[in-house]
Structure 1
C-alpha cells in the first residue's frame, strides 16, 4: 500500500512537472507570438506610412504639373516631405525584430533610404531642371524597388521559417538583384553587428560579446553566399 502511494506521488510529481513544462512552453510560445505580432504590426505601420507619403509626393507633383499649385508651393511641400520621410525611416531603428526577420528589416530600410535619395534627386530636378538629377532619381527608384522586393521575399521566407519549400524546391529569389546590391546589404548587416556588440572604442566588453559579434558576422556572410547571383 505504501509502495503504491509512493508510486502515485511520483506519478503526480511527474505530471506536475510535465504540466508545468507545457505551461512554461506555451507561455514562451505565446510570448514569442505576441512579440512577433507586435513587430509585424509596427513594420506594417511603417510600410503603410511610407506608401502614403510617397503617394502624396507624386500627387503634389501632378497638381503642380496641372497648374493647381505653384512651384514655390510644391517645393515648400517637398521640404516637409523630406523631414517626414526621415522621421519615418528612423522608426526602423526602433523595431525589435526576431532574429529571422532582421535581414528583411535591413533590406526594407535600405529600400526606404534609397527612395528618399531618389526623391532628393527628383526635387533637385524640379528646382534646377538638371536632367542628370532626373535620370539619377529614376535609377534610384528602380534600386529601391529591388531592395523592397528582396526584403519582402526575406520576410516571407522568415515567416515560413525555412529556405526551401516542403517539396525541396529552392525558394525563388527575386530576379535582377546585382552582386553589388547583395554586398551592400551584407556590409549593412556587418555594420549593424559592430554597432550592437562593439563599444565606443571599437572593442568588446567581454569575450562572450566578442563571440556573439563573430556569430553575427558569420550570419551576414552566410546571407551573402545564399543571395549572391
Structure 2
C-alpha cells in the first residue's frame, strides 16, 4: 500500500505542477500579448497624429495661410517623424499569430509615406500626375490598413 500511495502522490504532484506550469505560460502569453497590443496601439496613435499634422500643413498651404517654402520645410520634419514611426514596427515582438497584421500595418505606413512624398512632389512641381499617384497610394494605404485590422481581429479571436 505504501508504494501505491507514493505513486498517487507523485502523479498528483505532477498534475499540479503541469497545471501551474500551463497557467503560468498562459499568463505570460497574455501579458506579452497585452504589451504588444499597447505598443502597436501607441504606434498607430502616433501615426494618426503625425498624419493629421501633415494634412493640416497641406490644408494651410492650399488655403493660402502658409507658403510653399513653409509647407516644404514642414514636410521635411514630417518625413523624419514618419521614418521613426516606421522603425518602431521593427522593434515590436508580436506573438506569432499577429506577425502578418504587423506587416500589413507596416505596408500601410510605407504606402502613406509614398503618398506624402507624391504630395510634396506635386507641391514642388505643380505636376498633377503626382497628385493622382498620391490618391492611388492613399487608397493602397487604406486597403492595407483595413486588411491589417481584419487580420488583427482574426488573430485576437483565435480564428487564425
TM-score (norm 2): 0.94
Separation (CA, whole Å) in 2 of partners of 1:61 and 1:118: 13
SS in 2 for 1:69: coil
Q: How many residues align?
A: 160
Which of 49, 69, 72 is the matching residue for 1:72? 69
Within 2, Cα distance between the matches of 1:76 and 1:16? 68
Q: Indicate the SS of the match to 2:55.
A: helix
Aligned to 2:126: 129
What CA deviation, in whole Å up to 9, does each residue of 1:99-139 have, x standing for no partner?
Answer: 11111111110010011000000011111111000000001
Question: 1:117 and 2:120 equivalent?
Answer: no
Structure 1 segment 202-213 matched on structure 2, within 5 A: none
CA RMSD of aligned residues (A): 1.2
* 2:11 equivalent to 1:14: yes
How is 1:218-229 mapped onto 2 (pairs within 5 angstroms)? none
Gap runs ≥5 in structure 1: 164-229
- In the TM superposition, what are the counterparts of 1:118-197 in structure 2 within 5 Å? 118-163=115-160
SS of equivalent residue, structure 1 residue 67:
coil
**Correspondence list, 1:25-64, <5 A:** 25-64=22-61
The separation in 2 between residues aligned to 1:68 and 1:144, in whole angstroms, is 28
For residues 104 and 42 of structure 2, the distance between their equivalents in structure 1, rounded to whole angstroms, comes to: 16
How far is 1:67 from its partner? 2.9
CA distance in 2, matches of 1:19, 1:29: 15
- Any gaps of 5 or more consecutive residues in structure 2? none
Question: More helix per residue: 1 or 2?
Answer: 2
Which structure is higher in RCO with an 8 Å CA cutoff and minimum separation 6? 2
